[in-house]
Structure 1
Amino acid sequence: GSNCSDALFYDRLERYNTFSKPFIYTPGDNEWTDCHRVNAGEYQPLERLARLREIFFTNPGVTIGGKPMAVESQAFVPGFEEFPENVRWSKSDIMFAAVHVVGSNNGLKAFDAASSAVRGEADDLEVARRIEAAIHWINDTFDKAMEEDAPGVLIMMQANPKLEVGYALPGGADLTNARLGFNEILSVLEARTLAFGKPVVLAHGDSHYFRVDKPGLVENGFISNFTRVENFGSSRVHWVKITVNPKSEHVFKVRQMIIEANR
């Protein structure tokens, strides 16, 4: 994990604001979930989550970045006001949504035994609450996409929800356990993707491995209209460009963008 100090948060915010475009930020495990680790500062993760929201989401419904953009925020949905980070927007009639789902089994992994940080009931309750919010936001996004006859949907999150595990574990308890923290979300994503019937992309990071594939979600194996895109990560710092064409059969086009200095 990385250092989780306020100073680092402000440094990252300053960097994000140098982008000339709107910057959509969805929190990841390094920023709060894993901050209990000794090398991250031995913080209580829930304290870091609260601070992260204070720093990066001061104006719900408006992005950060050099050219802020208005977005729909779950903070304005009654009953989910504590989730300003879950946002949605439309571009070229395509529906995009950011959902707060993080690595380390979505925050369920045990704390570092060497750390002074202590995991309590509140940490488990936070995970359950965030899963509830994620499911609501995914359902709401697909409802809106179907209502507006959107040609495609892109869902972004930080976590790799262990989709590739399904290649080796076709189902049953082993697969469920491997995807602890993600199972309910994947079930909803699968059902909504099948019902939507048009291209759906899940874009994420987390495991630092660039890939574009079509893994199964829960029960249905290959789903022709579902594609997973994982971005590059630490030690392989490049980026991925996704362009959209609502008139194209596949809607989304993925390109790997290699930074020469980082080869």
Structure 2
Amino acid sequence: MDGKIKLQVRDLSKIYEDNGREVVALKDVNLEVKESEFVMIVGPSGCGKTSLINIIGGLDTASSGEVLLDGKAVNRPGADRGMVFQGYSLFPWLSVQKNVEFGLKMKKVPAAERAEHARKYIRLVGLEGFEDALPRQLSGGMKQRVAIARTLANEPEVLLMDEPFGALDAQTRVVMQELLADISRRTGTTILFITHDIDEAVLLGERIYVMSRRPGTVRDAITVDIPGERDHNSLVLPEFLETKKKIMDMLWQESQDAALDK
């Protein structure tokens, strides 16, 4: 797809110490995400996916290389990058409405304005009518909807997602995937999404970066070409299955090579 490059990772490496031993988690990672693009990252366990997204989000630092947002280097957390994790990170004592308003309140947005803004995103994630509910009254899928609404309410330049649906049951997970695909279409939000689930990657992604075993680097970048809007019916399309098979073969080879490394 054509378009402005929103996010770039250039020659990024991450090395850390483990009981006096040097471990190379990431090595010379290069990737880019265009404006309004939905990009997935998949890779074998331990390949550094979470380390990578934490560095992009400013929660960790790279040993070398850089992260650029709109061409400017970023190395600390910022409102321009919103993050959604597998854990919902909701304030249990606050209602859905107040949880979604929280970031806006920190920005000192006036009460009436932030309340209306929050309601807009609560409607977007399908939780209208639950504004006064507390997190303990919600299902896992509903809690993740609140977490997504809270992050989107701050209108970040890029939405970073680290296996956000990993703790959900299979049926709820598909529902949330369809919801996120719809939100992406309606808002044009730029999204970078980490997953270990190949079906999820192919269902949601316009492009998929496949990472190698440790030290993690980009093995391939795959453009996903599936006709029509993405939903559960896409899972059985020939184009879906062909792309899934291609990624499965890559990850199988990485797993086999990792076993031989040992």
Q: Which has the higher helix share?
A: 2
Q: Which has the higher strand share?
A: 2
Greater length-normalized contact order (CA 8 Å, ≥ 6 residues apart) = 2
Using the size of structure 2 for normalisation, the TM-score is 0.34
Provide TM-score, normalisation by structure 1.
0.34
